[in-house]
Amino acid sequence: MLFGLYQDADVVDILNAKDAEIVSLDSLKDQYGGTWALTNPGEYNSWFNDYQALKNRYLQAKNSGLGSDAKYKAIVASMSPVPNTQTPDSLIGLRSRMTAFVESQGQEPPPLTVPQPVATDYDLQTYKVADTAVKGVEAAGNVVANTGKGLIPWIAGGAAAILALLGIIAVKR
């Protein structure tokens, strides 16, 4: 994230995570869907239709020609028809429904393994460097205040401020 906007690396991270979740759910569907369809066809068909709708929303967001920030937000929105809410037709809701069926068959679904993000949050890194810089300038100011008059403390304070600014600029690049 940079300046509060999602970047290409953020999009790659979320695509990797959601692709892994969908592959995992596809695997469960392939393994247990037939049994579920025979056991309770109405419930399975409802789940299957909701799952297909989710996959269609996801593919539309994934293949959109949107910029990184808009694409990231579209992918998040595709996971649940109601923003920030677990519904039966959200990815979490669909996994919960499938897991409930698998467990009703006396089985334990395999754990979900999702790749962890690798993108850097540049905004967070900048805030950390800026905080360090401010503390350095404050410390230099304390040295100047406690030392009294003289040129050396002022030079040290100015050097600390310049180094801090260079650190912020380096993080932004």
Answer yes or no: do 21 and 57 share one domain: yes
pLDDT of residue 121: 54
pLDDT in tens, 54-74: 999 999 998 887 777 888 898
Answer yes or no: do 71 and 23 share one domain: yes
Distance CA 117, CA 131 (A): 25
pLDDT of residue 102: 95
Cα–Cα–Cα angle for 134, 138, 139, nearest 5°?
120
The identity of residue 1, as a single letter, is M
Cα 113 from chain centroid?
15
pLDDT of residue 117: 63
pLDDT in tens, 87-129: 888 999 999 999 999 999 999 988 887 666 665 555 555 556 5
* Domain boundary, last residue among 104, 138, 154: 104
Q: Are 57 and 65 in contact (CB under 8 A)?
A: no
Structural domain containing residue 139? 122-172
115 belongs to a structural domain: no
